[in-house]
């Protein structure tokens, strides 16, 4: 009997605000502590145009702040271009609630961001209870465009440090420098959690799994983890597998 083993990876996501952190990495640029120039200055620099970064941008835009969002992808919501890999969201999109109370309805809409534009609700984009991930990507990009959020795409920021004068300085992949009074890091920090054990080299991490059902046919599959991505995979393959074991 052939046994296929798949390792699912756990991700942790976080959104943190850098206010007083001192840079501890190695900087390849000229010593910015001595720098008195303020290239490309913005009061607020947000890094990442996922749901977190866009929501912050909406409030910065509404209150007419001097801000910019840097996004490494060519559009908003880059994370959702790949994840969840089976392309169906696990967040509810309950279109019909039987109520007109907006607050109540928003509690049953786990995908929409807050804004004063009634057309920018995921319930207007899909009727599906678990919508396709691509619809969320479209929604997030419409959100950024329609609300005139200042997002600079294709900009991967690195080496954020605090200068002697209290400003933050960072660089994009082309080594263009930017200075900001406040930096809000909304990069998501989704990292695979690979576990080392004898035979772990034979496992396949979640992000590399094939969506093709053929390799799973008649197999016994062992899934490490019992979080969202584990159940997502189990649901996808259960129709063709012989047996699925989940371990956590
Ligand atoms: C496998 C998986 C499936 C999930 N499925 C769902 C789901 O169906 N529904 C749901 O509601 N939540 C889901 N989540 C949780 C969801 O990912 C997060 O809640 C949400 O994406 C967090 O938003 P964010 O804006 O903080 O980060 P992200 O969405 O990760 O956005 C971060 C952004 O920062 C950008 N970025 C990163 N580094 C840099 C840099 N150096 N410079 C510039 N830009 C940068 C990235 O390109 C990205 O666009 C899932 C999570 C995982 C791990």
- Does residue 85 have its Cβ closer than 6 Å to ligand 1? no
> To test ligand 1's pocket by mutation, which of 8, 10, 13, 58 has the most ligand atoms within 8 angstroms of CB?
13
CA of residue 62 to ligand 1 center, whole Å:
23
Check residue 37 and give its pLDDT: 86
Take residue 1 and report the two structure tokens written for it.
């009997």
Check residue 29 and give its pLDDT: 57
Check residue 32 and give its pLDDT: 56
- Does residue 13 have its Cβ closer than 6 Å to ligand 1? yes
Q: Shortest CA distance to 33 belongs to which of 191, 154, 140, 169?
A: 169
pLDDT of residue 242 exceeding 90, the answer is yes
State the chain's mean pLDDT as an integer.
88
Check residue 34 and give its pLDDT: 55
Residue 187 Cα distances to 11, 142, 145, 192, angstroms = 13, 20, 20, 15
Q: Quick one: which atom of ligand 1 is closest to the CA of 55?
A: 25
CA of residue 191 to ligand 1 center, whole Å:
11
- Report residue 224's pLDDT band, with 50, 70 and 90 as the boundaries: very high
Please report, rounded to a whole number, the percentage of residues in the chain having pLDDT higher than 70: 86
User: Atom 12 of ligand 1 has which residue's CA nearest to it?
Assistant: 91
- Report residue 17's pLDDT band, with 50, 70 and 90 as the boundaries: very low
pLDDT digits (tens, 9 = 90+) for 36-62: 788 999 999 999 999 999 999 999 999
- Does residue 202 have its Cβ closer than 6 Å to ligand 1? no
Check residue 30 and give its pLDDT: 59
CA of residue 91 to ligand 1 center, whole Å:
13
**pLDDT-wise least confident of 13-17, 65-69, 118-122, 234-238:** 13-17
CA of residue 150 to ligand 1 center, whole Å:
19
- Show the domains of the chain with their CATH numbers: 3-11+192-247 (no CATH), 14-188 (3.50.50.60)
pLDDT digits (tens, 9 = 90+) for 71-96: 999 999 999 999 999 999 999 999 99
- Does residue 112 have its Cβ closer than 6 Å to ligand 1? no
Name the residue with higher pLDDT: 5 or 164. Answer: 164
Check residue 45 and give its pLDDT: 98
User: Atom 31 of ligand 1 has which residue's CA nearest to it?
Assistant: 50
pLDDT of residue 227 exceeding 80, the answer is yes
């Amino acid at each position: 009997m052939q046994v296929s083993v798949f390792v699912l990876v756990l991700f942790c996501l976080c959104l943190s605000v850098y206010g007083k952190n001192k840079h501890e990495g190695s900087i390849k640029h000229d010593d910015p502590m001595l720098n008195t120039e303020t290239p490309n200055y913005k009061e607020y620099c947000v890094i990442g145009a996922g749901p977190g970064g866009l929501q912050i941008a909406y409030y910065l835009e509404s209150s007419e702040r001097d801000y910019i969002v840097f996004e490494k992808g060519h559009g908003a919501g880059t994370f959702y271009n790949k994840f969840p890999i089976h392309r169906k969201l696990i967040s509810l999109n309950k279109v019909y609630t039987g109520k007109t109370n907006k607050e109540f309805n928003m509690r049953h809409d786990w995908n929409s961001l807050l804004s004063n534009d009634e057309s920018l609700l995921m319930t207007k984009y899909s009727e599906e209870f678990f919508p396709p991930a691509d619809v969320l990507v479209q929604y997030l990009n419409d959100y950024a465009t329609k609300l005139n959020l200042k997002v600079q795409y294709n900009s991967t920021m690195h080496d954020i440090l605090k200068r002697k004068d209290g400003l933050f300085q960072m660089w994009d992949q082309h080594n263009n420098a930017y200075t900001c009074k406040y930096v809000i890091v909304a990069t998501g920090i989704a990292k695979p959690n690979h576990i080392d054990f004898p035979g772990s080299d034979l496992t396949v991490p979640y992000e590399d799994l094939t969506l093709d059902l053929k390799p799973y046919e008649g197999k016994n599959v062992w899934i490490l983890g019992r979080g969202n991505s584990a159940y997502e995979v189990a649901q996808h393959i259960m129709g063709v597998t012989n047996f699925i074991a989940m371990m956590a």
